[in-house]
Structure 1
Amino acid sequence: MKVQNKILIVDDEPIILFYIQDLLGTVGNYIIESVDSGEKALDILSAFKPDLILLDIQLPGMDGYEVCRKIRSDDQYRFTKIIMVSGHARVNERLRGYEAGADDYIAKPFDNEELLAKVRVFAQLKNKEEVDQVKGDLLTLITHETRTPVSGIIGCAELLANDPSLSEEGRELAVLIAKSGQQLFQFMKNAVLLCKLKAGIELHYNPEPVTGMLANVINNLVEDHQDDEIRVITDFDDAIILQADWPLLINVFRMVIENAYKFSPRNGTITVTSRSENGMLIVSVTDEGEGVEPSMREQIFDEFAIKDVAHHQKGQGISLAICRYILHYHNGTIHVEGEPGSGATFVVKLPLREIEGIRE
């Protein structure tokens, strides 16, 4: 059974109320309420909780603009969609409606198919936005509630791994438990970060030397992967300074280089380079893994792109998606090059902004 969306119609003309109710009733998938004033609309909101409101502009007493502003001032209706309805199609009216918080506009007399299409699309959009919010809230809650127990598991496992009285097999199992706990904890952190990026964040820029930031990332990863016996070669342009939200951007370089570790063979080599070209910072990370099939070169940057883990996408399937989101915020890009069987090169490009007091 399909979900029945709730629609509130607000219009002071009885014939319009009847007409819209009859039209929507032909679809048979909506629960409909109607009122003839803005005050009545606000009174019914808390009890009815509409998914979508068809709101006439020219109402007696409180007009549609004021009603819209009052609804938008209450955070519990942030997902409720509002379509303004008017007998005029003037641009200034539409702009006032958008400024008041309306999602769309339709003029009387309206086309039946257009009205039904708008109602259907905005009802679906409202449902999707709510589901996305629930997903984000749930991931945040899970991460918060599991942080302490997972940290406890990791800590105890690391103590056991260093216990000389434990057998070699026991220590190996303890190391495995610790690594698995760390992977789980990192996945939860990444999932929450992805939700925040999709919801929208504010960047805080500061200038930092690219070489130093990359070196810090590489040093930490080399220590984490010292048992893999993978060599990292670097070739950096030490003169490059980049304006960026570095606490956020550093995740891109960490995830891309971590990705190279995942797909590098034992005793393999990872090459990391940086250079400036035509006002752009270009950072390349090359591994000696199996490479990426041409058909997968865009898909691997999608969320949970794990249809085929053989195509350079081990792990949870969100790290590269996070990279693309972060770079989008910085007006940057990421793509992958290389032939299958000959390794992969991930290329990150970011615009270099002129920094006051510094000349390249």
Structure 2
Amino acid sequence: MKVQYKILVVDDEPIILFYIQDLLASVDNYIVETAESGEQALEILPSFKPDLILLDIQLPAMNGYEVCRKIRADNRYRFTKIIMVSGHARVNERLMGYEAGADDYIGKPFEKEELLAKVRVFTQLKNKEEVDQVKGDLLTLITHETRTPVSGIIGCAELLVSDPTLSEEGKELAGLIAKSGQQLFQFMKNAVLLCKLKAGMELHFNPEPVSGMLANVINNLVEENLDRHIGITTDFDDSIILQADWPLLINVFKFVIDNAFKFSPDSGTITIKSWQTDGILFVSVQDEGEGLDPHMREHIFDEFAIKDVAHHQKGQGISLAICRYILHYHHGAIHVEGNPGSGATFVIKLPLQPIEGIGEHES
């Protein structure tokens, strides 16, 4: 069944209302209401709840800009898309519309194909944004509600591991329970972080030496993987100072280096390097794992990209997507090199100084 989209057309010219209503009626998944004034449009909103508003600028009494501002001031319509309509093509009109909160602009007379295309794009976008919001809210709720029981499971399992009366087999099983609980807890934290990144976050920059931050991450991960005897080779430029939102960015280094540990064979070696060229920081992390085929290289930074069972057991397919988002916030990038059987090398690239205008993510 097709999704039904509600469209409100606001114009003081009856012939325009009739034309647009007739045009949109040719598409079977649009429900159309009309209003001849801004006041009438605002009265219709609470009951009709449109997905999209085609709003004429030149309205009597209350013009389109004022109507747009009133709609944007009401949180109930934060996902509603607004396309301003005008008989003029002046740049200042468009700018005033965007400042009032409009999503797009179309001039009169308009081509029907252009109007239908804009309506289609913005109704689908509104639907996607609402779905993303629901998914994010649900995930946050699930994480909040499961945090206490998961913590209880981990705590009880760790107590069993240290119980001298428990058999070695029992301790091993308790250890597996604790480890699985910790993995679940970390996944929930990562999922919430991903939702926050997609929704938009403000960054707070401070300078830190890159080699020191990398060393801290490496030491912690080596401690967690002592029984695997994985060697670490480093080649750092100790002079590099990076301006970044470090509480956020440190996750990139954690996830990429942890990924190298997960896919490295026992007693293997991970090589980590840092250098700078023309104001750009480069960090590479090379493992001796199985490597990646071209298809996986192309999609490895997508959300939940790792679908096959063998890889899914080692990672939930979310941490590398988080890396991509965090680096996007910093105007950085990440890519992976390597072929099947030759290991993988992840290369992170970041500007050493913040780029003007950065601070809030734009989807």
Identify whether the pair has TM-score above 0.5, normalized to the shorter chain. Answer: yes
In the alignment, structure 1 residue 272 sits paired with structure 2 residue 272: yes
Q: Equivalent residue for 2:295?
A: 295
8 Å contact from structure 1 (residues 9, 32) kept in 2: yes
- Name the SS of the counterpart of 2:178 in structure 1: helix
Q: State the 1:213 CA deviation.
A: 0.9
Q: Which amino acid aligns with 1:209?
A: P
Q: State the 1:89 CA deviation.
A: 2.0
Q: State the 1:222 CA deviation.
A: 1.4
C-alpha separation between the residues in 2 aligned to 1:243 and 1:20? 52
Q: Equivalent residue for 1:358?
A: none
Q: Structure 2: which 5+ runs fail to align?
A: 355-363
Q: Which amino acid aligns with 1:41?
A: A
- TM-aligned CA distance change 1:151 to 1:55, over 3 Å: same
Q: 1:44-193 to 2 correspondence within 5 Å?
A: 44-193=44-193
Q: Which deviates further from its counterpart, 55-64 or 265-274?
A: 265-274
- Name the SS of the counterpart of 1:297 in structure 2: helix
- TM-aligned CA distance change 1:218 to 1:243, over 3 Å: same
8 Å contact from structure 1 (residues 291, 312) kept in 2: no
Q: Which amino acid aligns with 1:297?
A: R
8 Å contact from structure 1 (residues 290, 312) kept in 2: no
Q: State the 1:84 CA deviation.
A: 1.1
Q: Equivalent residue for 2:360?
A: none
C-alpha separation between the residues in 2 aligned to 1:16 and 1:204? 49
Q: Structure 1: which 5+ runs fail to align?
A: 355-360
TM-score (norm 1): 0.94
8 Å contact from structure 2 (residues 252, 323) kept in 1: yes
- TM-aligned CA distance change 1:41 to 1:69, over 3 Å: same
Identity of counterpart residues, as a percentage?
A: 82
- TM-aligned CA distance change 1:313 to 1:353, over 3 Å: farther
Q: State the 1:309 CA deviation.
A: 5.7
Q: State the 1:91 CA deviation.
A: 2.0
Q: State the 1:262 CA deviation.
A: 0.7
Q: 1:214-293 to 2 correspondence within 5 Å?
A: 214-293=214-293
8 Å contact from structure 2 (residues 306, 312) kept in 1: no
Q: Equivalent residue for 1:211?
A: 211
Q: Which amino acid aligns with 1:205?
A: F
- TM-aligned CA distance change 1:67 to 1:35, over 3 Å: same
8 Å contact from structure 1 (residues 296, 311) kept in 2: no
Runs of 4+ in 1 over 3 A off after TM superposition: 307-314
8 Å contact from structure 1 (residues 292, 312) kept in 2: no
Taking only aligned residues, the RMSD between alpha carbons, in angstroms, comes to 1.7
TM-score (norm 2): 0.93
Deviations 1:75-116 (A, max 9, x none): 221110111112222222222111111111122222222212
Q: Equivalent residue for 1:23?
A: 23
C-alpha separation between the residues in 2 aligned to 1:267 and 1:91? 64
Q: State the 1:313 CA deviation.
A: 9.0
Q: State the 1:289 CA deviation.
A: 0.5
Q: Which amino acid aligns with 1:150?
A: V
Q: Which amino acid aligns with 1:78?
A: R
